[in-house]
């Protein structure tokens, strides 16, 4: 299925339209995520605090989805579970056909390395590495050649070519955020999770990041799932899932 999708993409330069799909044997795009009755609870002072309850949805391969909701509604918790960074109290996540709950921690880490990019709300850059190294080192660990060149070209794309040799502490919050995004893009993930990717950016820089995300989605077919408070960013997604108090209260496609 994946192969078929990429072949069609190479020929047409874009994803097949629903009409093109209907004439083929493949009536539905593959599902990148299948989320079933996901619940996450924490023990809290002798009681149980449930921060996600019975969350279910599917996300097709190549989708561009925004998760929105008030502070504390469970967005970051949900993103961590979808990416296999955290384990649920109940329910399941199928990522590109793999049941995350059935995998060992090592197997989950391997799957993440192969298919997942993640941008944390708090960036999590390595403080002792420069901006370029923060991007290049994970690539080198995966055996990518010319990792340094690739890192610098990504920095150029996000407007930080002249900050390549700065340590994270020498970068502004917004600059660190852009480096974290470039690092997540760098290994061309099948699915990119981003927690508030424009949270620390002025509107012009935020707009550039949105364009990068859109390009990645359109040109590489990367599935994008982002959490945002930014209504400008949410409105550029093709679908919005709204959480309130740990539950999905709205899930709608946006008109193109
Ligand atoms: N490790 C933890 N132990 C106990 N409670 C937690 C833990 N992690 C998160 N929570 C609680 O779960 C709830 C949801 O947190 P989460 O970080 O998912 O919210 P959020 O929607 O991302 O909020 P924000 O928009 O402020 O980032 C919060 O009330 C938080 O206090
Ligand atoms: Mg959060």
Which ranges of 65-172 would DSSP assign to H, the alpha helix?
75-82, 105-115, 131-141, 147-157
Mean pLDDT score of the chain: 87
- Predicted confidence band of residue 27 (pLDDT cuts 50, 70, 90): low
Look at residue 7 in the predicted model and tell me its pLDDT. Answer: 32
Question: pLDDT tens digits for 49-92?
Answer: 999 999 999 999 999 999 999 999 999 999 999 999 999 999 99
Look at residue 23 in the predicted model and tell me its pLDDT. Answer: 47
Look at residue 26 in the predicted model and tell me its pLDDT. Answer: 54
d(CA 222, CA 212): 12
CB of 76 within 6 A of ligand 1: the answer is: yes
Burial of residue 230 (number of CB atoms within 10 Å: 0-12, 13-18, 19+): buried
Contact 84, 95 (CB under 8 A): yes
39 falls within a domain: no
- Taking CA atoms only, the protein residue closest to ligand 1 atom 10 is 51
Q: b/e map of 52-81 (b: 16 or more CB within 10 Å)?
A: bbebeeebebbbbbbbbbeeebbbbbbbbb
- Taking CA atoms only, the protein residue closest to ligand 1 atom 31 is 72
Q: How many CA atoms lie within 13 A of 256 on its CB side?
A: 2
Ligand nearest to the CA of 72: 1
CB of 72 within 6 A of ligand 1: the answer is: yes
- Taking CA atoms only, the protein residue closest to ligand 1 atom 5 is 42
92 falls within a domain: no
CB of 23 within 6 A of ligand 1: the answer is: no
pLDDT above 60 (res 228): yes
Cα–ligand 1 centroid distance for 122 (angstroms): 14
49 falls within a domain: no
CB of 152 within 6 A of ligand 1: the answer is: no
30 falls within a domain: no
11 falls within a domain: yes
* pTM confidence score: 0.85
Closest residue by Cα to residue 159 from 199, 197, 128, 204: 204
Ligand nearest to the CA of 120: 2
Q: How many domains does the chain have?
A: 1
Cα–ligand 2 centroid distance for 120 (angstroms): 9
Contact 40, 88 (CB under 8 A): yes
Look at residue 28 in the predicted model and tell me its pLDDT. Answer: 67
Domain at 191, CATH number: 3.40.50.300
- Taking CA atoms only, the protein residue closest to ligand 1 atom 27 is 71
Give me the sheet containing 116-119, strands edge to edge. 116-119, 191-195, 223-227, 64-68, 239-244, 247-253
24 falls within a domain: no
d(CA 253, CA 256): 9
Question: Structural domain of residue 121, as residue ranges?
Answer: 3-17+61-83+104-253
Question: pLDDT tens digits for 85-114?
Answer: 999 999 999 999 999 999 999 999 999 989
């Amino acid at each position: 299925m994946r192969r078929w999708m990429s072949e069609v993409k190479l020929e047409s330069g874009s994803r097949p339209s629903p009409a093109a799909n209907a004439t083929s044997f493949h009536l539905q795009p593959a599902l990148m995520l299948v989320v079933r009755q996901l619940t996450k609870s924490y023990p809290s002072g002798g009681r149980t605090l449930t921060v996600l309850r019975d969350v279910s949805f599917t996300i097709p391969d190549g989708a561009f989805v925004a998760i929105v909701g008030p502070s504390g509604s469970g967005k970051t918790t949900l993103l961590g579970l979808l990416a296999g960074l955290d384990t649920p109290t109940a329910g399941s996540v199928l990522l590109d056909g793999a049941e995350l709950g059935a995998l060992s921690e090592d197997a989950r880490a391997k799957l993440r390395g192969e298919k997942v990019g993640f941008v944390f709300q708090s960036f999590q850059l390595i403080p002792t590495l420069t901006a370029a190294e923060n991007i290049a080192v994970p690539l080198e660990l995966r055996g990518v050649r010319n990792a340094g060149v690739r890192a610098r070209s990504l920095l150029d794309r996000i407007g930080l070519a002249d900050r390549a040799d700065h340590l994270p502490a020498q970068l502004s919050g917004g600059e660190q955020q852009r480096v974290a995004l470039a690092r997540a893009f760098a290994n061309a993930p099948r699915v990119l999770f981003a927690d508030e990717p424009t949270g620390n950016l002025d509107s012009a820089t935020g707009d550039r990041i949105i364009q990068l995300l859109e390009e990645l989605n359109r040109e590489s077919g990367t599935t994008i799932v982002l959490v945002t408070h930014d209504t400008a960013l949410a409105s550029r997604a093709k679908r919005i899932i709204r959480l309130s108090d740990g539950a999905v209260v709205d899930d709608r496609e946006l008109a193109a």
